[in-house]
Every structure is written in structure tokens, then in C-alpha cells.
A and B are shown apart, each in its own frame.
Chain A
């Protein structure tokens, strides 16, 4: 009964008008709001200092969400776009030709695809290194021998390797959006960014000066303009499956392909995840009742 009075006091303390933590909370909130305003002010007047200027547009991807699966047709179209357009400048060095089996190609098809590229062979009997056709076990052959060659061919800006871009180019979402992302399971900012960038080229507003050789794009992650000119235009790649041959469709397909290239185990991961989560839920339920029963005889 002595305890009851303690509890009452507890209530009293909590409802005290003069609450230090409340004041601190208000102060902090005020600080946050001020900081937010500073950022907004920077955005309105003059050249922007925070990039990307626009948040990426969100696309509904087949591989999003807890049961995400690759759209094989889309990945095949993406490979076609990569082969015919992007691979002129961008390498894909972490991916092997054999990995194309994930895209539904047969061994013979992969062999034929790989054989179109040459790789240096082992030194022959005379100690000379000759080229041989690539095999499925080889990595994708890039357009340049080294970074210097890539820079030299592209006005000093080496085109980045494609293998991991869909994970490396994921604009941070900021507070509080990133908290909500945990619950909406949003993890597609990489492909969203790629899609937005490829479809985002536009004329620069008067307030922004675009440097020589730059191309204005408000979705670019590291500035207001980038060295890459718009790489896609309607009709540059023909599709046999009847998909629209538009920049919008191309951008989606290549972004999906790049997500596959960056995270080839994504579907395995999610399907295993579902089983693991179900198991853990059942096990946690069993443990909960076991614990409850064991503790039922003890007041605590």
C-alpha cells in the first residue's frame, strides 16, 4: 500500500507543467525547423547547392516489395539496350557472360554472345599473348583497356562501370522519409534514380549556367549538369516482343537490367527472406507461450 502512494506521485511527476524534457523537445524541434528552412531558402534563390535538384521519380518495379521477381523480358530488353547503346562507353566488369543464364538464355546462346568479344589469351608457346573469343566464364569485356583510355575518349570524364551503379547511385532520402522507407520496404532508389536521370534531360533554367560540354539534368546526383549527353532516343533499339520503343521504356528496361547486374541474387534473397521471416515468427510465437507458461508461477 506504500507502493500505491509512489504510483500516484509518479503520475504527478509526469503531468507536471514544468517539464524539462518537453522544453528540450520543443527546442530541438525548433532547431530542426530552422535547419529545414535554411535548406529551402538555398533552393529557391540562385544556383542550387544540394543535389540532385529533383528527387527521383518512383517507378513500380517488378522486383520491388517482399515478393519481387525479375521481369525476364525486361532484363532481356535491358541487355539489348546495354549491348547496342551503353556498352560503347560503359563497362560491366563484375558480371560474367555465364550470368546471362539468369536472363533465360541457353548455354549455346550465351556462348555465341560471348564469342562476339575478344579477350587476351594465355601466352602461347612463343610467349606472345593473342586474343581469343570470350567464353561464358569470362567477365564482360569493356570498351576501354583502362581508365586513362576511357578518360581520353570522353573529354576527361571516364564513364563509370555499370556493374554496381544501381546500388552506388542511390540518392539519400533524408529525414523523415528514410524512416518511412523501412516500413514501406522502399529499396529501389537506385533504379528510380537511373530511370529519372535517363528521362530527365531538359533545358536548363535561366538561373543555372551549364558549363561547356555539360548537359543539364535536374536529377543528376552530383551537380546540375553531367558530361553524358542524352544517350537514348525513341527507336534507337528495336524490340521483338512488341514493347514500346520509347525513351521511357528504354530507361525502365536498362534500369531494371542494371539492378539485376548490381544485385543478381535479389530474387533468391527475397524468397529466402520470406521463409526465414515466417519461421522466426512461428518460433517467436512458440517461445512467447513457453516463456509465459514458465513464468506463470512467478509474480514479477
Chain B
């Protein structure tokens, strides 16, 4: 026997429970700063909106801008491209959801009108990241004249909708608004 003379106090002792609980609270509170430091910092959050002037973007021209570290495709579509997109029946689409964050109805169908904002239907603005595994599709290529992802062969049409290949969803359209006739604010 070592130097202990009496039996141990019971485990239900309120003092021990309180001490243990306080210790658990302490450890949990200390953990949070160490986890939260990995979230985007203040300078990153400050860049979460971007303004782009597209006054000089003629029909048939595209521009790629960086937003939140990702490419955003902005294309001023030609009449022909819009016509092609409009004439595609919804039934032929692989992903029938609009994937447009500007729409109130998240279940909206992926019609051509639902892939843009009202009044600026010729402008297609979407995150240029393939919905398969994150590569950047090439513009005006592929079987549907829209975008083609060279990594694993996904074909998107002129409204950025997935038509063929392994990608599951249409290219995502982020929140954006025209704050003047030619300046668009993304995010």
C-alpha cells in the first residue's frame, strides 16, 4: 500500500463534476480560436465583391475576371448563341435546375432567361469552374458551341448548361447586379 489511508471519495461528488465541467468548457473555448483562424481573414472578406466595367464588351466577346480567387466568365452573347440556347428543350438538359443565385426560386428551370438577369439577357456571367472537379473550361469549344472542359471532357452549351460529359451541374451563376448600365458588381 502507498501512503493513502482512506478510500477514494465517490465519483458523484459535486465538486469533482464542477471541476471536470469547467475543464471541458475551458478546452472547448480554447479550441475555437485555433479553428476559426483558418476561416477567410478580414482582407479576404473585403475582396468578396468585385466591380467590372463591361462597356467595351461587344457581342461575341468574353472577358474573364477574378472573383474570390476564381475565374468569372462574362460573355456578351451573339444573337445566334442566344437563339441556340433558347431553342433547346428543357427535356434535353442533363441538369434541369437554373443554378442561378439571383433567382428567388431555387428550383427554377434552366431556361435561357433564367440563366441571366432580367433586362441583360445577352450577358452571361458565371463562375468558370467546371462542376465536375474544378478545372476551367475553354470558351466557344465543344459539341455545343459553348464551353468545353479539357480535363474530363464535359461539354456546356451557349447558356453554360451541361450537355454531355461527367459534370453533374450547369455552370454556377453567382449573385451579381448592374449598378449602372455598364458596371456589374459581382458578389
A111-130: contact bitstring with B at CB < 8 Å (1 yes, 0 no)? 00000000000000000000
Whether B18 and A286, one on each chain, are in contact in the complex, defined by CB atoms closer than 8 angstroms, is: yes
Find the B residue at minimum CB distance from A138: B46
> Which residues of A (82-127) have their CB < 8 Å from a CB of B?
96, 98
Which among A137, A279, A287, A293 has the highest number of chain B CB atoms within 10 Å? Answer: A137
Complex Cα–Cα for A20 and B16 (A): 48
Whether A283 and B43, one on each chain, are in contact in the complex, defined by CB atoms closer than 8 angstroms, is: no
Find the A residue at minimum CB distance from B22: A283
B131-162: contact bitstring with A at CB < 8 Å (1 yes, 0 no)? 00000000000000000000000000000000
With beta carbons under 8 angstroms apart, the residue of A282, A286, A298 that contacts B4 is A298
Q: Does A136 contact B (CB under 8 A)?
A: yes
Whether B43 and A137, one on each chain, are in contact in the complex, defined by CB atoms closer than 8 angstroms, is: yes
> Which residues of A (258-300) have their CB < 8 Å from a CB of B?
279-280, 282-283, 286-287, 289-290, 293-294, 297-300
A-B contact count (CB 8 A): 39
Shortest B47–chain A CB gap in Å is 5
With beta carbons under 8 angstroms apart, the residue of B16, B25, B29, B47 that contacts A137 is B47
Residues of B with C-beta under 8 A to A98: 42, 46
> Which residues of B (16-51) have their CB < 8 Å from a CB of A?
16, 18-19, 22-23, 25-26, 29, 42-43, 46-47
Residues of A with C-beta under 8 A to B47: 137
Complex Cα–Cα for A13 and B100 (A): 87
> Which residues of B (70-110) have their CB < 8 Å from a CB of A?
none
Residues of B with C-beta under 8 A to A136: 46
Find the A residue at minimum CB distance from B46: A137
Whether A96 and B22, one on each chain, are in contact in the complex, defined by CB atoms closer than 8 angstroms, is: no
Give the total of B residues in contact with A, Cβ under 8 Å: 19
Whether B26 and A283, one on each chain, are in contact in the complex, defined by CB atoms closer than 8 angstroms, is: yes
Shortest B133–chain A CB gap in Å is 29
Given contacts A98-B46, A137-B46, A289-B15, contact A279 B26 (CB under 8 A): yes
Q: Does B3 contact A (CB under 8 A)?
A: yes
Q: Does B5 contact A (CB under 8 A)?
A: yes
> Which residues of A (195-210) have their CB < 8 Å from a CB of B?
none
Whether B22 and A290, one on each chain, are in contact in the complex, defined by CB atoms closer than 8 angstroms, is: no
Residues of A with C-beta under 8 A to B6: 297
Q: Which residues of B contact A (CB under 8 A)?
A: 3-6, 9, 13, 15-16, 18-19, 22-23, 25-26, 29, 42-43, 46-47
Give me 9 other A-B pairs in contact (C-beta within 8 A), A286-B15, A286-B22 excluded. Answer: A98-B42, A137-B43, A283-B23, A283-B26, A290-B19, A293-B13, A293-B15, A298-B3, A300-B3
Q: List 19 A-B contacts (CB under 8 A).
A: A96-B43, A96-B46, A98-B42, A136-B46, A137-B46, A137-B47, A279-B25, A279-B26, A282-B22, A283-B19, A283-B23, A286-B18, A286-B19, A286-B22, A287-B19, A290-B15, A293-B9, A297-B6, A298-B3
